[in-house]
Amino acid sequence: MQAKPKILVIGSANMDMVIQSDHFPVPGETIIGGEFSLVPGGKGANQAVAAARLGGDVCFITRLGNDIFGSQNLLNYQKEGIDTSHIQQIPNVPSGVALITVDKSGENTIILAPGANSQLSPYDIIASQQKFEEADLILLQLEVPIETVCAAAELAKKLDKKVVLNPAPALGLPDSLYENLFLVTPNETEAEYLTGIAVKDEKSAKKAARYFLEKGVKEIIITLGAKGAYLYTSDFKGILPTVKVQTKDTTAAGDTFNGGLAVALGNSLPLKDAVKFAMKAATLSVQRMGAQTSIPFLHELPMT
């Protein structure tokens, strides 16, 4: 890929507090953990950083607190070359925070305190119309108010822009949102939550994908972790496998995948090729610790 497509990311920004442990505590249990780290995160921010590192010209729209975490995050985005002209720091509201535990197999549990993320409103979307007009693709998630997500998708549709929704964390979605989406990218758990269909194999993945198709979504990708991704598109239906690696931390794997996918689609790659590119990036990310610290750069991706 040679061009730098314009990717508009609208979503959350957090500071992640990460503790490694042998296992997850059960209710009432206190365990001694291992290494602690403070890492910039949030699905919106992770995907914006991933898109920037993987070759995109990225504008990020979010809300931060007027605190040390907000100032640190803003500086980080600027260092990544991200357009921060539509990021505001809100007084008297804390920045979003995530408490993350990572076990020895690389799996994680996450609790979010949205903070300033809850202040991102449909008005902010209207005020950002120029950025929508300039964008080659719009990337959304669900860690900001649902009415803001719906407003962004509606405006993008009016401007004939492709919208990719990563429906995470999963919550009930109005039909009007689905109708404005080009592509939806749930993982197995999110797909089951949204469709009521447990995704266990290719047959069940196809059934879940058809649910989204019937809602009006044009293309569907269900990510399957170490097994790869299931695609339901106009010219391909099936699982694309990924390379098996030793997993250290899956925290930002999905965000890396979606950021890479947005860049590839913004470069007009066919969806099948775009997914292969995104999986290469995600595979590298799970071999590293942390959220944004694990996201690779374009030059790190294997060429084949």
Is 16 annotated in a binding site? The answer is yes
The residue behind tokens 């997993």 is 247
Scanning 159-230, the segments in alpha helix (DSSP H) are 175-178, 188-195, 202-215
Secondary element (H or E) of residue 133: helix 129-134
Question: CA 161, CA 180: separation in Å to the nearest integer?
Answer: 10
Element (H, E) at 72: helix 68-79
How far apart CA 21 and CA 259 sit, in angstroms, is 28
Is residue 157 within 8 Å of 132, Cβ to Cβ? Answer: no
Catalytic residue among 175, 201, 255, 273: 255
Q: Is 233 annotated as a binding residue?
A: no
Q: Is 227 annotated as a binding residue?
A: yes
The annotation status of 196 as a binding-site residue, yes or no, is no
187 assigned to a ligand binding site: yes
Annotated binding residue 81: no
Handedness of CA 209, 254, 260, 229 (dihedral sign): negative
H or E stretch at 87: strand 87-90
57 labelled binding-site residue = no
> Which residues, including other chains, have CB under 8 Å from residue 299's CB and lie 6 or more apart?
none
Q: Is 53 within any annotated ligand binding site?
A: no
Q: CA-based diameter of the chain, in Å?
A: 53
The answer to whether 235 is annotated as binding is no
Q: Is 67 one of the annotated active-site residues of the chain?
A: no
The verdict on whether residue 254 carries a ligand-binding annotation is yes
- 108 in a labelled binding site: no
User: Has 44 been labeled as part of a binding site?
Assistant: yes
Count of positions (residues) in the chain: 304
CA 296/CA 304 separation, integer angstroms: 16
Q: Is 172 annotated as a binding residue?
A: no
- Annotated binding-site residue? 247: no
Residue 226 to residue 243: CA distance in whole angstroms: 8
Give the residue numbers annotated as catalytic, written as ranges: 255
Residue numbers belonging to the annotated binding site for ATP: 187, 223-228, 254-255
Residue numbers belonging to the annotated binding site for K(+): 249, 251, 285, 288, 290, 294
Residue numbers belonging to the annotated binding site for substrate: 14-16, 42-46, 143, 255
Residue numbers belonging to the annotated binding site: 14-16, 42-46, 143, 187, 223-228, 249, 251, 254-255, 285, 288, 290, 294
